[in-house]
Amino acid sequence: MSIPLLTATAALPAIGAIATAAVPAAQRTAAKWLALLFSLGTLALAVTVLVRFDPDGDRYQLTESHAWIKDFGVRYELGVDGIAVALIALTALLIPFIVLAGWHDADPLETGSRRWRPTQGFFALILAVEAMVILSFEATDVFLFYIFFEAMLIPMYFLIGGFGDRAHEHGEKVASTQRSYAAVKFLLYNLVGGLIMLAAVIGLYVVAGNFSLQEIVEARANGSLDMATNTERWLFLGFFFAFAVKAPLWPLHTWLPNAMQEATAPVAVLITAVVDKVGTFAMLRFCLQLFPEASQWATPAILVLALISIVYGALLAVGQRDMKRLIAYASISHFGFIIMGIFAMTSQGQSGATLYMVNHGISTAALMLVAGFLISRRGSRLIADYGGVQKVAPVLAGTFLIGGLATLSLPGLAPFVSEFLVLVGTFTRYPVVGIIATFGIVLAALYTLVLYQRTMTGPVKPEVSAMPDLRARELVVVAPLVVLLIFLGVYPKPVTDIVNPAVKQTMSDVQKKDPQPEVEAAK
């Protein structure tokens, strides 16, 4: 019996979102367990996709194609390559941890005249985002991708604005205003990017006559579709602008620090470890495959923007007083590395960038979730309000350190391998860019170690003297992420074996070959 596995993987969290939202308001605990069960079911389906995917097989596998809007050539068309499979697995893996970490984040709470939204809504929105992200990774029809690329903004808007972080030094009224501001800013930035992309999607249809990624790429390869140079470049810019907002790339990044600061820690992880990956993934799948000439034309400018993101994000992270804003700016720096690897146009760079997406998701989840546990205990995001935590909560401090060391790409932890590949792949074609990018590593060590020193070491502050260590539920969240960071740090082969064939085909699409070594190997 043939099962539409890709549809099922995206449909299960969507059904879970509806079922969770329908749980009676008094049954908050039941809603939480239901959301967790649906997220674990989605993980099981994602693992099935991973097992059934053959890295050496066809480019797009487990494909599904059905007529949808015939008059406009829109099809419900799904398929996954190695890059998509890795990111679907990452998404399905992180959502159960996000649900567990946010177990009490949306419990009803009376604060003045304001009451928090129902718990059911919080978990239903998380599952809705998961469904839309997975469909974005699976869609090979450009219009279908666009729909879910934009639709995920709505549940994210409510998660940021309606279920924001309760830790605020200026009181609930100011906190509510800032959450609303962050949510609106997130929505407006991404909507503007999406509208520009919509114009480009329509333009692509006018030129190509359909929305099928595979058909357009094949038509360009066999010469039956000849796109004018200026047309291709304008269409590329329309797509890239939307993806750069989502990624986020400097100077379109300013929504991210506000959103991550005001969201709860699990939702902040959902933003930067899951949703933002759609932007960098789409650069590989759509920008490079649909517009190979324009991608090469824009590469110098994009590499400059990526370099600015790397250094600028790291510099601003160094000077942050707010723990969550520091992690947000660190993520901007890391996304600069990912985009640099994609547009270095080398197999090492693009393999490293894809591996970086996976490793960044795991490392940021580990660091941000532990930071969230810390903030929930003290009730403050300010770094200056902590000190000596490692003496009263050593397990919490230890996991925080591991997450921080992963963020600075310490050898032996997962992000090191991906960052090394990105730098090597960039240096072989653009040595100056690679050299400048290494300053981001130095700055990462600075902001990470200073953060740990100020919060975890030194005299124990009275406000943290009675702070409890990680509880069982919190250990269940953090321990698997730490294990993954170590495992992929010493043995990244399972991921690279999946993504490398897809990277080679993308390199073929843009007609690029890796630079040959200047010195031949000794025989």
- What is d(CA 272, CA 98) in angstroms, rounded to the nearest whole number? 12
Pair 402, 394: CB distance under 8 Å: no
pLDDT of residue 1: 44
The token pair that represents 341 in the structure block: 């690897």
pLDDT of residue 514: 73
Return the domain boundaries, the chain.
316-513
Pair 399, 326: CB distance under 8 Å: no
User: Which residue shows structure tokens 């770094």?
Assistant: 383
Pair 12, 38: CB distance under 8 Å: yes
- Residue pLDDT tens, the chain, 523 long: 467 999 999 999 999 999 999 888 778 888 899 999 999 999 999 999 999 999 888 889 998 888 888 877 788 999 999 999 999 999 999 999 999 998 887 777 654 434 445 788 889 999 999 999 999 999 999 999 999 999 999 999 999 888 876 655 555 566 667 888 888 898 999 999 999 999 999 999 988 888 888 888 888 878 778 888 899 899 999 999 999 999 889 998 888 998 888 888 899 999 999 999 999 999 999 999 999 999 999 999 999 999 999 999 999 999 888 899 999 999 999 999 999 999 998 989 999 999 999 999 999 999 999 999 998 888 888 888 888 888 988 999 999 999 999 988 899 999 999 999 999 999 998 999 999 999 989 999 999 999 999 998 888 888 888 888 889 999 999 999 999 999 999 999 999 999 999 988 888 887 777 777 666 655 5
The token pair that represents 49 in the structure block: 């996709």
- Single out the residue of 187, 133, 140 nearest to residue 159, CA to CA: 187
pTM of the complete model: 0.91
Pair 347, 504: CB distance under 8 Å: yes
Q: How far is CA 446 from CA 334, 384, 405, in A?
A: 15, 17, 11
pLDDT of residue 113: 39
Alpha-carbon dihedral 310, 339, 481, 41, rounded to 10 degrees: 150
